[in-house]
Amino acid sequence: MGVALDPDTENFLWYSVQEVFERPDGRLSLDALLLISWLVRDESADALPDSNTERIALLKRRAANSAEPLRSNIMDIPNDSEARPLRMGDFAPQIEGCSEFSGSVTLAEDASHAMTMYRG
């Protein structure tokens, strides 16, 4: 597993091995999960590309400043790999009706972070 945050670009990267399996020729291979997120400051400039190839190229550009071995793991991803886009956003809590909490709440465990729909 690798986690990185680039303070210059504000990219957050997460790389983790999901499964290790043996190929028919006896070599070991793996399935990995790579997440890269960034603040969307411009809807057009920060938009996700439509094709897998373009999304993989974007991931590699955003990971270019990462340290080894995370950088090589990402740069070695085949250009024809599947890249599922998942647009997430921050949701500000509704202030109305929260007067009994003095404007603050506490989130714990899974309520305190975003969850993906396919790796929950």
Are 5 and 66 within 8 A, CB to CB? no
Q: 3-state secondary structure string, 63-93?
A: CCCCCCCHHHHHHCCCCCCCCCCCCCCCCCC
> Is the bond preceding residue 93 a cis peptide, omega within 30 degrees?
no
* Averaged pLDDT in 10-residue chunks for the chain of 120 residues: 82 88 93 85 88 93 88 90 77 63 70 58
Whether residue 99 lies inside any domain: the answer is: no
Whether residue 43 lies inside any domain: the answer is: yes
DSSP category for residue 96: T
Task: Write down the pLDDT at residue 88.
Answer: 66
Whether residue 116 lies inside any domain: the answer is: no
Q: Find the domain containing 8 and state its range.
A: 2-90
Strand partners, 11: 6
Task: Write down the pLDDT at residue 70.
Answer: 85
Whether residue 107 lies inside any domain: the answer is: no
Whether residue 32 lies inside any domain: the answer is: yes
Element (H, E) at 29: strand 28-37
If 0-12 CB within 10 Å is exposed, 13-18 middle and 19+ buried, where does residue 35 land? middle
Number of domains in the chain: 1
Task: Write down the pLDDT at residue 79.
Answer: 93
Whether residue 69 lies inside any domain: the answer is: yes
Residue type, 84: R
Tokens of 24: 């028919």
Whether residue 119 lies inside any domain: the answer is: no
